[in-house]
Amino acid sequence: MLHPSSELPAADLLPVVRQRPVPQALIETLQARFGARCSTAQAVREQHGSDESAFTVPPPAAVVFAQSSAEVAEVVDLCSQHEVPLIPYGAGSSLEGHLLAVQGGISLDLSRMDQVLSIDAEDLTVTVQPGITRKRLNDELKSTGLFFPIDPGADASIGGMCATRASGTNAVRYGTMRENVLALEVVTADGKIIRTGTRARKSSAGYDLTRLMVGSEGTLGVITEITLRLYPLPEAVSAAVCSFPSIEAAVRTVIQIIQLGVPIARVELIDANTVRMVNAHSKLGLREEPMLLMEFHGSPAGVKEQAETVQEIAAEFGGQAFEWASTPEERTRLWTARHNAYFAAIQSRPGCRVISTDTCVPISRLADCLLDSVAEVDASGLPYFLVGHVGDGNFHFGYLIDPDSAEERTRAEALNHQLVRRALQLDGTCSGEHGVGLHKMGFLVEEAGAGAVELMRTVKRALDPKNILNPGKIFEL
Amino acid sequence: MLHPSSELPAADLLPVVRQRPVPQALIETLQARFGARCSTAQAVREQHGSDESAFTVPPPAAVVFAQSSAEVAEVVDLCSQHEVPLIPYGAGSSLEGHLLAVQGGISLDLSRMDQVLSIDAEDLTVTVQPGITRKRLNDELKSTGLFFPIDPGADASIGGMCATRASGTNAVRYGTMRENVLALEVVTADGKIIRTGTRARKSSAGYDLTRLMVGSEGTLGVITEITLRLYPLPEAVSAAVCSFPSIEAAVRTVIQIIQLGVPIARVELIDANTVRMVNAHSKLGLREEPMLLMEFHGSPAGVKEQAETVQEIAAEFGGQAFEWASTPEERTRLWTARHNAYFAAIQSRPGCRVISTDTCVPISRLADCLLDSVAEVDASGLPYFLVGHVGDGNFHFGYLIDPDSAEERTRAEALNHQLVRRALQLDGTCSGEHGVGLHKMGFLVEEAGAGAVELMRTVKRALDPKNILNPGKIFEL
């Protein structure tokens, strides 16, 4: 039985703010060293003290714009000497409060460290600085015939994507940041620069420090260089869409696709309610039913075969209005509903704010999880949209709340809490791709258990004994 | 410039043995608790005190055969109380000395914890106990249409494969244990049972404790339960072989295959010297040239297309005698050379012992690495074979030494040392898939740097403050 919303702990709604002192001597040293690249201007601090989450927290005391790994090491060393918190900052697109200065301190902006350091096309690897965004990285790769597939939607920085273990629509085929980071350079809490991993595709040489850093949300080290796996741009790409009589029919189609080994590159679900919003927004006449939007990568014959196989499977589960296309224009047209879902939703309630959920469950549990949760949101009366990276079992409700209504905010958080509880009961996770940050700290304990979280704390205490690296995130120490 | 063999530190050749006391009270407690499942018989201890490595070390004081996670926790707790080393034991197929009791202590045999706990076919996951071997796991999966692809050659236990981050011939398509373990149950050094990960395919919820444990070689916890990703058995499988005028031509063919996005499932190289051994052993008339052996998984049309694409690429690089086949019998025939390479090699020098190398480099560096190393081994006069998981840049020289000749052993270790140095200079790793164990401890420092190894030590000290879990492996504390 799920807890009713009245039992929700207030801690899930408000971050614990416990400002630690930032000595003026540190600010002065940073200003002397970095000049205009150390800013205490209110606007700059406020920009760096907020993110896409719904929390409001006082901004950091200063923002330093680093230009090299050595500079990062210097700043970390100074913060260590003064025991002052330091929060790495990339593109500011975090959704879970990762960037907020809940214990005060310094924001370390890495966006100027945005260079591609080397492209090794034969090895399908690239080494970059953390501040480069994924779109610019792919622009720089254009002439190579290769691409970096991880696409979380936002034009996040690669460093931030490492820090949150990001993924997105392509993960069903290409994996997440977990699978696609080969090596890192990291500044540790004592200001030392270390390297983890090599450019070899695999290794059994010692502890997997790369994967320990990926997803650690800036709490174990500052990532200053990243080597990524690349993939050849597919020779052919095709897209398909199909409508289904129920969410369950759509999910069963996806299970069958994956069990048959169809190497589908993307498979996204949007629910009938969201299709309705898209129809209203974009003046389309799509069937107002759950819809799958798919993409196939391969040879021309291969993508045709994939689409044909999928069409047959979809028909078995009552799929209707199957369309597929291989020209770029037609593919874009087919995917209109997915591309426009977010904007259609927010325009359906002008001035609203989106609270996004991020649970992920084993795919066999997905239909159950979605059906119960959709019923719950419908009963709540809150407007919402629903999109899912359904091949991975990851989906996002976007609750559309009035930003001035504490009641709606509470209602949305209560729905999210019930959803997370349900996902955990179904062997799932509270965060498929957004990370824990401030928002999921309570859920992490429910998910992983006190013993596993205590082990995480033990690692944190050992690697950052002064608790200066993005403190107060993931778990309380 | 590579160091000449005369500069080799002796530490690479002999493990540091520093026996810690095993109180009689502990042995008596274990015997009282486990009866016949706690053995101090010389033969049992010796069997558990040796592995496939070339080291000789005194055996553990006792062997306990555990039957449940709770029993593992009990044994760890007792060892913790007495500060006695504990070495998890699976199938005994380690190659790098992982199982040797260099600090004395207790061997904890997990081979009786060999059950499949649940198969979730729709989710493509299975949960097993650590003692099950990969072949038996695949037998148990037969009726599901799914398989677990990681194939290190030996019929290793799944727990051991986790511990060493194993991979093998299928890794180019399916990844390694790093990518294919979803969740673990682990007994930590204080005897507590924790869980890491969930059955969801991806997660951003906190530190990646699963990947911290995978590859930690029993030094951070005892793995007692494992959830793995499975894959659909391919609808069609085809195989191909091709001979090349040079190793470089073969490697360039593989680079091109991968750059074109051909989803090749296996691609193995054997060198001309090894083909010669196979011809002599199996009375074949294969061209005595470097040879690629390949396997393709997909739809019938897909595997045909893959083989055709590969044949075209191979022809560009001077490939000869290209053959492909899709019936099981013909596929087996084509792969004879690879299947027989090991036995053909050891029978070429009756009574010999194999010392296997395990470097892995970015594929663009592979030809250089191999050519220089082949020249070096040829010059040394030691007989050898060479097989490579060439799609990953991982390869193994097997030096065929006289087990009674210290001089040959030293010569082989010197060659290995030079090979590792070369691989590291080429951005590679000292261990592609066998792990560090005792054998690569010196190399790990060269590869990762003192700072990264110190970070590993910090993690170890924090998670196992009494240094009881497989101590003396990976690094000296």
Q: What CATH code is carried by the domain that includes residue A198?
A: 3.30.465.10
Strand, coil or helix: what is B112?
Answer: coil
- pLDDT tens digit sequence for B357-398: 999 999 999 999 999 999 999 999 999 999 999 999 999 999
Same-domain check for residues A163 and A97:
no
Q: In CATH, what number is assigned to the domain containing residue A383?
A: 3.30.70.2740
Confidence of residue B17 (pLDDT cuts 50, 70, 90): confident
Give the separation between CA B467 and CA B449, rounded to whole angstroms: 22
- pLDDT tens digit sequence for B450-461: 999 999 999 999
Angle at alpha carbon of residue B126, lines to B123 and B129, rounded to 5°: 160
Strand locations in A309-438 (E): 320-325, 353-356, 384-389, 394-401
Nearest to B449 among A171, A194, A298 (CB): A194
Which one-letter DSSP state was computed for residue B245?
S
Confidence of residue B8 (pLDDT cuts 50, 70, 90): very low
Strand, coil or helix: what is B196?
Answer: strand
Asked if the Cβ–Cβ distance from B205 to A444 is below 8 Å, we say: yes
Asked if the Cβ–Cβ distance from A201 to B443 is below 8 Å, we say: no
Confidence of residue B6 (pLDDT cuts 50, 70, 90): very low
Considering chain B, what percentage of its residues have pLDDT values greater than 70?
Answer: 97
Asked if the Cβ–Cβ distance from A198 to B125 is below 8 Å, we say: no
Asked if the Cβ–Cβ distance from B459 to A461 is below 8 Å, we say: no
* Predicted local confidence at residue B361, as pLDDT: 98
Lowest mean pLDDT segment, chosen from A80-94, B45-59, B94-108: B45-59
Any idea of the CA torsion for A415, A418, A421, A423, to the nearest 10 degrees? -60
Backbone φ and ψ of A184, nearest 5°: -135, 155
Q: Within 13 Å of residue A377, how many CA atoms lie on the same side as its CB?
A: 26
Asked if the Cβ–Cβ distance from B203 to A122 is below 8 Å, we say: no
Residue A254 is which amino acid? V
Same-domain check for residues A184 and A257:
no
DSSP H helical segments within B95-157, as ranges?
A: 134-141
Closest CA to A120 of B12, B364, B82: B364
Boundary residue ending a domain (B319, B344, B369): B344
**Average pLDDT, stretch B78-91?**
98
Same-domain check for residues B105 and B149:
no
Give the separation between CA B395 and CA B397, rounded to whole angstroms: 7
- Looking at this predicted complex, what is its ipTM? 0.96
Kindly report the number of other CB atoms within 10 A of residue B407's CB atom: 9
Nearest to A458 among B198, B463, B474 (CB): B463
Q: Which helix (H) or strand (E) element contains residue B300?
A: helix B300-316
Q: Which residues partner with B14 through β-bridges?
A: none
Q: Is B203 exposed, middle or buried (0-12, 13-18, 19+ CB in 10 A)?
A: buried
Pair A239, A303: CB distance under 8 Å: no
Distance from CA of A300 to the nearest CA of B (A): 11
Angle at alpha carbon of residue B96, lines to B90 and B102, rounded to 5°: 80
Q: In CATH, what number is assigned to the domain containing residue B243?
A: 3.30.70.3450
Boundary residue ending a domain (B109, B124, B156): B109
CB < 8 Å to A358, chain B? 204
Pair B192, B412: CB distance under 8 Å: no
DSSP H helical segments within A102-260, as ranges?
A: 134-141, 158-164, 171-174, 177-180, 209-213, 247-259
Strand, coil or helix: what is A17?
Answer: coil
Q: Is A79 exposed, middle or buried (0-12, 13-18, 19+ CB in 10 A)?
A: buried
Asked, for residue B198, whether it belongs to a domain, the answer is yes
Distance from CA of A24 to the nearest CA of B (A): 32
Has residue A131 got a pLDDT over 80? yes
- pLDDT tens digit sequence for A30-42: 999 999 999 999 9
Give the separation between CA B319 and CA B254, rounded to whole angstroms: 12
How many residues appear in chain A?
477
**Average pLDDT, stretch B7-13?**
42
CB < 8 Å to A144, chain B? none
Distance from CA of B9 to the nearest CA of A (A): 20
How would you label A172-185 residue by residue, b for 16+ Cβ within 10 Å and e otherwise?
A: bbbbbbbbbbbbbb
Give the separation between CA A401 and CA A283, rounded to whole angstroms: 24
Boundary residue ending a domain (A288, A314, A338): A338
Same-domain check for residues A135 and A154:
yes
Q: Within 13 Å of residue B153, how many CA atoms lie on the same side as its CB?
A: 19
Considering chain B, what percentage of its residues have pLDDT values greater than 90?
Answer: 95
Has residue A346 got a pLDDT over 80? yes
Asked, for residue A178, whether it belongs to a domain, the answer is yes
Same-domain check for residues A165 and A208:
yes
Nearest residue in chain A measured CA to CA from B171: A202
* Predicted local confidence at residue B5, as pLDDT: 37
Lowest mean pLDDT segment, chosen from A191-200, B1-10, B307-316: B1-10
For chains A and B, CB pairs below 8 A equal 293
Backbone φ and ψ of A5, nearest 5°: -65, -25
- What's the mean per-residue pLDDT of chain B? 95
CB < 8 Å to B393, chain A? 200-201
Give the separation between CA B28 and CA A308, rounded to whole angstroms: 67
* Predicted local confidence at residue A30, as pLDDT: 98
CB < 8 Å to B220, chain A? 207
- Please tell me the total count of domains within chain A: 4
Same-domain check for residues A80 and A168:
no
Give the separation between CA B161 and CA B176, rounded to whole angstroms: 10
Strand locations in B159-310 (E): 181-187, 193-196, 222-229, 231-232, 236-243, 264-270, 291-298
Q: Which helix (H) or strand (E) element contains residue B413?
A: helix B406-425
Same-domain check for residues A298 and A356:
no
Residue B145 is which amino acid? G
**Average pLDDT, stretch A121-146?**
97
Same-domain check for residues A193 and A144:
yes
Nearest residue in chain A measured CA to CA from B172: A201
Asked if the Cβ–Cβ distance from A207 to B216 is below 8 Å, we say: yes
Strand locations in A76-138 (E): 86-89, 106-109, 116-120, 125-128
Asked if the Cβ–Cβ distance from B212 to A207 is below 8 Å, we say: yes
Has residue A175 got a pLDDT over 90? yes
Distance from CA of A151 to the nearest CA of B (A): 15
Asked, for residue B280, whether it belongs to a domain, the answer is yes
Strand, coil or helix: what is B324?
Answer: strand
Tokens 């799509």 belong to which residue?
Answer: A286
Confidence of residue B13 (pLDDT cuts 50, 70, 90): low
Asked if the Cβ–Cβ distance from A199 to B232 is below 8 Å, we say: no
- pLDDT tens digit sequence for B298-352: 999 999 999 999 999 999 999 999 999 999 999 999 999 999 999 999 999 999 9
Asked, for residue A248, whether it belongs to a domain, the answer is yes
Closest CA to B301 of A325, A314, A303: A303
Same-domain check for residues A23 and A95:
yes
Pair B297, B237: CB distance under 8 Å: yes
**Average pLDDT, stretch B168-180?**
96
A51 alpha-carbon distance from chain centroid: 13
Kindly report the number of other CB atoms within 10 A of residue A244's CB atom: 24
Asked, for residue A277, whether it belongs to a domain, the answer is yes
Q: Which residues partner with B62 through β-bridges?
A: B106
Has residue B276 got a pLDDT over 50? yes
Asked, for residue B208, whether it belongs to a domain, the answer is yes
- pLDDT tens digit sequence for A390-445: 999 999 999 999 999 999 999 999 999 999 999 999 999 999 999 999 999 999 99
Same-domain check for residues A323 and A374:
no
Same-domain check for residues A227 and A239:
no
Q: In CATH, what number is assigned to the domain containing residue A94?
A: 3.30.43.10
Which one-letter DSSP state was computed for residue A319?
-
Nearest to B205 among A260, A309, A431 (CB): A431
For residue B289, what are the domain limits?
234-344
Nearest residue in chain B measured CA to CA from A432: B203
Strand, coil or helix: what is A23?
Answer: coil
CB < 8 Å to A255, chain B? 122
- pLDDT tens digit sequence for B419-451: 999 999 999 999 999 999 999 999 999 999 999
Distance from CA of A458 to the nearest CA of B (A): 6
- pLDDT tens digit sequence for A17-71: 889 999 999 999 999 999 999 999 999 999 999 988 878 899 999 999 999 999 9
Asked, for residue A213, whether it belongs to a domain, the answer is yes
Asked if the Cβ–Cβ distance from A443 to B205 is below 8 Å, we say: yes
Has residue A7 got a pLDDT over 70? no
Asked if the Cβ–Cβ distance from A205 to B458 is below 8 Å, we say: no
CB < 8 Å to B474, chain A? 206-207
Asked, for residue B78, whether it belongs to a domain, the answer is yes
Confidence of residue B223 (pLDDT cuts 50, 70, 90): very high
Has residue A80 got a pLDDT over 50? yes
Q: Helix A406-425 crosses helix A366-380 at what angle (to 10 degrees)?
A: 160
* Predicted local confidence at residue B53, as pLDDT: 82
Nearest residue in chain B measured CA to CA from A252: B122
Distance from CA of A392 to the nearest CA of B (A): 6
Nearest residue in chain A measured CA to CA from B121: A259
Distance from CA of B61 to the nearest CA of A (A): 27
Same-domain check for residues A143 and A172:
yes
Going from the C-alpha of B167 to that of each of A199, B151, B170, B176, B178, the distances in angstroms are 17, 6, 7, 5, 9
Nearest to A204 among B192, B196, B434 (CB): B434
